Amino acid sequence: MKKALITGITGQDGSYLTELLIGKGYEVHGIIRRASTFNTDRIDHIYRDPHETDTRMFLHYGDLSDSSGLRMLIERIQPDEVYNLGAQSHVKVSYDQPEYTADIVGLGTLRLLEAIRDYMERTGKQVRFYQASSSEMFGAAKPPQGLHTPFHPRSPYAVAKVYSYWQTVNHREAFDMYACNGILFNHESPRRGETFVTRKITRAVGRIKMGLQDRLFLGNLDARRDWGHARDYVEAMWMMLQQDAPRDYCIATGEAYSVREFAQKAFAQVGLNYEDYVQVDPRYFRPAEVDYLLGDASETNAVLGWTPRTSFEQLVTEMVEHDLELARQEKTLLDAGHQVALKGIGNT
Ligand code: NDP
Ligand code: GDR
């Protein structure tokens, strides 16, 4: 049975990747951060009591800032594959916490690569490494962007991802490691964090339809993104680690839409006009914006034999249907006299 170690297992991609790997017969180990409340909502449905014999997902406390903990986990788990998905992944928040973002997103990758290198050198075992690189690294570069497009990052997050990208390449070249960068364009799902724009929109659509909210404040409506479905994209991650030789890949749908178009489609799905509800609030603007990301993934999609299965329309529909149901449940609770917190952090 192959063993995989996932950093960021509690995130959107971590949860889909865990489902995929368990379906393929893997034993999956995930690193979670200690928090004062449970932070495992996205993987609770996979969790089994560790005393049961059919348990194949194991969770360990750790943090990308903690080298000794990472080293101990690699030593103890002895993984065949490591997927580095952990990150302070919010672009706007990276402007509020640039140093922390650089530490986790940038140095965190180096810490993990070094722990793996050390383990491989001492034991002679092979470990394959996946780095969650991002289309944000292209930033201001003209679309379409692909493997041959020079990086021009536009945020502390993107700068840190560029650092990790090159660390991964360098470990591959210097130490002959099987290490791959997956440069993934935006991918969304009903499990997307609620402060990312697609989910912020579909949550609002559900709540507005159910009468729980009356407006939606957004930032730049003209930004364009190449949006795919996270469930499809984690499959590409796994495929990258099953090839004969390591290399880097771009994963995208090859179609881009604006935030405005996403909102228009999402509101229209429940019979509403987005213009009646959406208001622009400059607090959501970024100090430097990434205007237009459109992936040219034809070359690497072909090498990998991967194509996206979910269309833009299907993605919006799935997210809206999910969040409409969530809003229905919230309304039922409210009608029964329970309190429902409308969570939100002001500037994301
Ligand atoms: P999420 O924000 O949903 O998940 C991030 C994960 O990282 C969470 O599990 C989080 O834990 C964990 N994490 C945060 N800080 C640390 C830390 N200090 N140490 C260890 N783990 C930490 O991101 P996604 O699932 O959307 O993305 C996965 C990866 O892919 C990220 O690296 C992201 O930057 C990258 N990426 C994402 C794209 C997308 O469109 N989704 C596109 C391209 C790249 P907790 O739950 O405790 O917060
Ligand atoms: P992004 O995703 O920055 O592309 O990073 P996000 O959904 O946050 O923003 C996409 C675009 O929408 C514009 N926007 C808003 N964004 C947010 N969050 N909130 C708003 O109210 C709002 N209004 C307009 C933004 O300005 C931006 O142009 C995501 C993350 O998952 C990264 O970790 C990942 O690397 C990249 O995708 C690829």
Whether 202 is covered by a domain: the verdict is: no
Residue 328: the pLDDT is: 98
Distance 133 CA to ligand 1 centre (A): 11
Which of 19, 38, 73, 85 has most ligand 1 atoms within 8 Å of CB, for mutation? 85
216 is a domain residue = no
- The pLDDT of residue 48: 79
Substitution site in 89, 165, 186 for ligand 1 pocket (most atoms within 8 Å of beta carbon): 89
* Atom 15 of ligand 2: nearest residue by CA position: 197
Per-residue model confidence as pLDDT tens digits over 94-127:
999 999 999 999 999 999 999 999 999 999 999 9
Q: Does position 342 have pLDDT exceeding 80, yes or no?
A: no
Residue 305 within a domain: no
> Per residue in 154-178, is it b (16+ CB within 10 Å) or e — as a string?
bbbbbbbbbbbbebbbebbeeeebb
Q: CA 12, CA 190: separation in Å to the nearest integer?
A: 9
Q: In terms of Cα–Cα distance, which of 59, 54, 55, 57 is closest to 39?
A: 59
> Looking at the CA of 88, which ligand is closest?
1
- Structure confidence at residue 196 (pLDDT): 98
Residue among 59, 71, 65 at smallest CA distance from 105:
65
Domain of 176? 3-189+228-251
Whole-number pLDDT of residue 20 = 98
CA angle 279, 253, 84 (to 5 degrees): 90
pLDDT at site 182: 98
* pLDDT tens-place string over residues 257-297: 999 999 999 999 999 999 999 999 999 999 999 999 999 99
Residue 49: what pLDDT?
77
> Is 331 contained in some domain?
no
Q: What does residue 62 show for φ and ψ, rounded to 5 degrees?
A: 180, 175
Give me the pLDDT at residue 299, please.
86
What's 21's domain CATH number?
Answer: 3.40.50.720
Q: Regarding beta strands 224-225 and 257-258, do their DSSP bridges make them parallel or antiparallel, or are they unpaired?
A: antiparallel
User: Could you give the ipTM of this predicted complex?
Assistant: 0.99
pLDDT of 175: 98
pLDDT score at 345: 60
27 pLDDT band, cuts 50/70/90, is very high
Q: Is 70 exceeded by the pLDDT of residue 343? A: no
Catalytic residue among 83, 157, 165, 292: 157
Q: How many structural domains are present in the chain?
A: 1
Which of 186, 195, 319 gets mutated to test ligand 2 (max ligand atoms within 8 A of its CB)? 186
Nearest to 316 by CA among 202, 191, 185: 202
Distances (CA, A) of 150 to 112, 193, 317: 26, 29, 34
User: Residue 136 falls within a domain, yes or no?
Assistant: yes
Summarised one tens digit per residue, pLDDT across range 221-256 is: 999 999 999 999 999 999 999 999 999 999 999 999
Asked whether the predicted pLDDT for residue 344 surpasses 80, the reply is no
Read off the pLDDT of residues 292-328 as tens digits, 9 standing for 90 and up: 999 999 888 889 999 999 999 999 999 999 999 999 9
Residue closest by Cα to atom 17 of ligand 2? 197
Q: Is 136 in the pocket of ligand 2 (CB under 6 A)?
A: yes
Q: Is residue 278 domain-resident?
A: no
Q: If we measure between CA atoms, which residue out of 41, 53, 42 comes closest to residue 19?
A: 42
Q: What is the mean pLDDT of residues 152-160?
A: 98
- Which residue has the CA at smallest separation from atom 9 of ligand 1? 8
47 is a catalytic site residue: no
Is residue 134 among the annotated active site residues? yes
Separation of first and last alpha carbons in the chain = 41
Q: Is residue 65 part of a domain?
A: yes
325 has catalytic annotation: no
Phi-psi region of 149 (alpha: psi -120 to 50; beta: other; left: phi over 0): beta
Output the pLDDT for position 51.
Answer: 80
Atom of ligand 2 nearest to the CA of 223: 28
Mean pLDDT (the chain) is 96
Q: Is residue 218 part of a domain?
A: no
Catalytically annotated residue among 15, 26, 119, 136: 136
CA of 269 to the centre of ligand 1 (A): 29
